[in-house]
Structures are given as structure tokens and as C-alpha cells.
Structure 1
Amino acid sequence: MQQTQPAKEPNYARIAESPKFKTLMARKKSFLLPMSLFFFAYYFTLPLLTSYSTALNQPALGPVSWAWLFAFSQFIMTWALCILYSRKARYYDALVEEIKREL
């Protein structure tokens, strides 16, 4: 009966200090922070405008007001951001694999 060797525990301190890992984290941060800020600003614009303004109460398409169109656009925005992040995540995953190979 053949026994398998336990997996070698990675040296996380060494990984965290590597230049490639720092580059990965900086790139992720430079992508995620603006994207998150945009998401929250866009998301909270609708309740703020409908609560403190009448700008979105005007009809846009027949009986449909701008508030309804803005609300629908939030679904589109969420899907677009998810697709954008999924594509960007493939790039980050490739960097992670490269870091794992090197270390």
C-alpha cells in the first residue's frame, strides 16, 4: 500500500513579501476600489433622488417615469460590473498561478 506525502505548507510570509504578489494586490485594489465606489454611488442615487427630489418623477416613455428607467438600469449596471469583474478575475487568476509556480 502506497502512502501519499502530505502537501507541503506554503510559506505565506514569503508569498506576501514577493514583488509579484504586491503587484497583484495593487492591481486588484486599483480595479476594485473605483468599481465599488461607482457601484455604491449609482445604487444610492435612486433612493436619494426619489426621496429628496422630483427630478425622476417626470414621464420618460409614455406612463413610465425616469425613476423606473433608472431602477431598471441598476440591474443592467450590476450585470455589467459582474461580467467586467469575471473577465478581470481570469487575469488575476493567471497571476496567482504564476506566483504559485515561482514560490
Structure 2
Amino acid sequence: MANISGNKNIESIDYNAIEAMESFNKFVKKKNTFLFSITAVFLTLYILLPILAFQPVLQQKFFGNITGVWVYSAGLFIMTIILCTLYVKKAASFDKAAAAVLAEYHEKGGK
């Protein structure tokens, strides 16, 4: 593998040893649980829009001539912003956890 960055530590990392570490597996499980959960919430609410758009509950007028479909659609934008903000905040903790896994690897003699 070519060393493009000039960092010699990248070439000597034993990825199989890291994969065998319990802390790495816990980290990956925690991260995947969060990512799949947030994705499931997003896709479920997003896919429900065309399904619910023609249902009587969303055809009712909520504010003046604004129907529930418009309110639901606006809610999707708000949901997207909230989920993105939540991910950005959570990503910082994932970065710290990944750094802790690498530190543990180096403490155990990894190069």
C-alpha cells in the first residue's frame, strides 16, 4: 500500500487485531445502532408522506386553506434538520470513541 500522506503509522496498523478488540466491536455496534435507527426513523416518516397524503386526516384544513399534507411536509424539513443536528453532535462522541479504540490498540503494543 502506498503511503500518500507520509504518515508511516498508517502502514503498520494491524486491522485484524483492531477488529478482534472488544472495545472496537462495542463501538461499531453502538454506532451502527444509532445510524440504522436514525435512518429508519427518517425513511419511515418520509415514505409515509405519499401514503398518508390522500388519507382524510391529512386532507383536512389545519390553518386557513393549508391542509395537513403541507403541515406534514414542513414537518419533514424540520425533522431532517433535527436529525442532521443530532448526528453532527453524536459524531463528535463517535470520533472520541474511535480515538479511544486506537489508543487502546497502541497501548497493547500495536504500532
Q: Could you say whether these structures have the same fold, taking a TM-score greater than 0.5 normalized by the shorter chain as the test?
A: yes
Structure 1 segments, 4+ long, off by >6 Å, are none
Distance 2:8 2:84 in 1: 34
- Provide the TM-score with structure 1 as the length reference: 0.87
Cα distance, 1:69 vs. partner?
A: 0.6
Q: Match of 1:36, as an amino acid?
A: T
Q: Which residue of 2 aligns with 1:87?
A: 89
Q: Deviations over 1:69-96 (max 9, x none)?
A: 1000000000100111111111110011
Match of 1:20 among 14, 18, 23: 23
Range with greater deviation from structure 2 (28-37 or 56-65): 28-37
Distance 1:102 1:37 in 2: 32
The runs of 5 or more residues in structure 2 that have no matched partner are 1-5, 106-111
- Report 1:56-95 matches (<5 A): 56-95=58-97
- Provide the TM-score with structure 2 as the length reference: 0.81
Q: Higher RCO, 1 or 2 (CA under 8 Å, sep at least 6)?
A: 2
The runs of 5 or more residues in structure 1 that have no matched partner are none
Cα distance, 1:6 vs. partner?
A: 5.4
Aligned residues: 98
Q: Which residue of 2 aligns with 1:33?
A: 36
Aligned CA RMSD, in angstroms, stands at: 1.5
